[in-house]
Structure 1
Amino acid sequence: MIWSDINTQAHGLVRKNPRLQDYIDSKIFAYEDFPSALTGHLADSLQEHLQRSLLKEWFDEIVNHHPEIATAAEADINRVVTLNPACPDHLTALLSFRGIAAIQAYRIAHAIWNSGDIQSAVLLQNWISLQWNIDIHPAAKLGQGLFIDHGIGLVIGETAVVEDEVSIWHGVTLGSTLNETGDRHPKIRRGALICASASVLGNIEVGENAIVAANSVVLKPVSNGVVVAGAPAKPVGQAPSSLATLSTQSEQV
């Protein structure tokens, strides 16, 4: 279980650096389970906007009613630890990676949006954007096992869909062309990789395991397993079937 791993890693950190005892006490050892530690971390991060105790109570209520949020958070953390050589363990992913935090806060905003409280959901969206520089509309539909590397400058529009095990680098825009109404944002299928500063625009699909190279502007659908590059993006090859890490994969595109 991820909570057992996080506690073991937290004890190890305190042994190596006793100066962090109070910090780890407040972030990890004060909680009985992973969902409570997750909402506590998010409340700590966003307390500039609303009293910390009110945020924690609000987030706990939502996560208790939507246990899939914590399940998805575990999948996100596990994938980051597995794929990212810059992430040493689950504890680091939870406490230090902005992509992890922002995505879990988005999941809470998404639940609020689906409950019909649009104003509160958009308000939370704004707070998330100000805190982590990641702007995800609460109506967007995101899967789990996501790898949001760095994440700074990421924008995901209202009708976008991002399926499971998608990897997205910093500066990516999943936006509209301004020529469509209604369903106007991209659909990113399972296992796709969107590299740094790429823009995918309009109600188009990026197929399973496809790769969008850095700085590309994608205006047309991308087939499964195809690599596209350029502005406008064009097919340049087939995605490798397997590579050591997604970092290596992005560097080879």
Structure 2
Amino acid sequence: MSAEIWRRLGAEARTAEATLAPFLADTAGAPDAAGGLAALLARLSPSPLLEPGALRDLARATLLPQDVDATLADLQAITIRNFEPGGLLGTWIGGRGFHMLLAHRLNHRLWRQGQHALAMACKTGAAMLGADIHPAARIGQRIFLDHGIGVVIGETAVIEDDVSLWHGVTLGSTLTRGGEDRHPKVRRGAVLGAGATLLGNIEIGEDAVIAAGSVVLAPVPPRTTMAGNPATPRLRHRHPYAEFRA
């Protein structure tokens, strides 16, 4: 699947405007996906704490095949669920949420390898993209992070596969409860609307929908729509992306 996504992206890149040719040749037109993703990341979020050019080499050496596959799955998921035209190439160039997920996959891999200081240094550069995602946060694949600006995801947060979330979403802690596990767990297929705030070690059930601007402080059952501050269940539940589920 990832090989086919990469092939299609390359084909779209070859039809783009000539002005973009050098950038696309270096990224979407690279011989392999890992090299192309490393080149894209180096252009997007160079950390001020790293020497020039170091991020590209670091990403190329660190990203594992499963990280590359997950990132390309994100690329396709965002393209499919987004209403804007442009195809895979449009997401590659302008999908800020996709860029943030790519950066996080490198940071998370570094964190898991025990390179915590380096992961945090790369996170500092990635924050230039507009989100703050702790390197330890666990994020699945086929994620639709739309816009992504203002997203904050805490250290012990979990986001499973097929989740969709918009700008301004916060997965934070309440600061009133002890324990190491203090951030939300968002289960497969859930949808988090713009500006939704989820606080504490709570579970957001599979295919749940959290309306824009809601504040959620308690667990949410699967296939439930929540809205308001504090959020309360709504009688009608409709999942906006049910037909795109894998």
The change in CA–CA distance for 1:134 and 1:44 in structure 2 (over 3 A counts) is same
Structure 2: distance between partners of 1:48 and 1:115:
19
Structure 2: distance between partners of 1:205 and 1:52:
41
Per the alignment, in what secondary structure is the counterpart of residue 200 of structure 1? strand
Q: 1:46 aligned to 2:45?
A: yes
The change in CA–CA distance for 1:241 and 1:27 in structure 2 (over 3 A counts) is closer
Q: How does 1:83-232 map to 2 (within 5 A)?
A: 83-129=81-127, 131-181=128-178, 182-232=180-230
Q: How does 1:73-88 map to 2 (within 5 A)?
A: 73-88=71-86
The change in CA–CA distance for 1:243 and 1:60 in structure 2 (over 3 A counts) is closer
Deviation at 1:86, TM superposition (A): 1.2
- Stretch of structure 1 that moved more, 93-102 or 150-159: 93-102
Per the alignment, in what secondary structure is the counterpart of residue 208 of structure 1? coil
Contact 1:109 1:138 in 2 (8 A): yes
Given residue 95 of structure 1, which amino acid in structure 2 is its aligned partner? I
Deviation at 1:44, TM superposition (A): 1.3
Give the share of equivalent positions with the same residue, in percent: 38
Deviation at 1:4, TM superposition (A): 1.1
Contact 1:80 1:87 in 2 (8 A): no
- The structure with the greater share of residues assigned to helix is 1
The change in CA–CA distance for 1:101 and 1:225 in structure 2 (over 3 A counts) is same
TM-score normalised according to structure 1 size: 0.89
Contact 1:226 1:239 in 2 (8 A): yes
Stretches of structure 1 lacking an aligned partner (at least 5 in a row):
247-253
The change in CA–CA distance for 1:85 and 1:48 in structure 2 (over 3 A counts) is same
Deviation at 1:25, TM superposition (A): 2.6
Deviation at 1:52, TM superposition (A): 4.2
Root-mean-square deviation (Å): 1.7
Contact 1:225 1:238 in 2 (8 A): no
Given residue 136 of structure 2, which amino acid in structure 1 is its aligned partner? A
Residue by residue, what CA displacement relative to the aligned partner does 1:49-100 show, whole Å, maximum 9, x if unpaired? Answer: 234432111111101xx21110101110111111112142112212221111
Find the counterpart in structure 2 of residue 25 from structure 1: 25
- Stretch of structure 1 that moved more, 155-164 or 74-83: 74-83
Deviation at 1:165, TM superposition (A): 0.3
- Kindly indicate whether structure 1 or structure 2 has the higher relative contact order, using CA contacts under 8 Å at least 6 residues apart: 2
The change in CA–CA distance for 1:81 and 1:193 in structure 2 (over 3 A counts) is same
TM-score normalised according to structure 2 size: 0.92
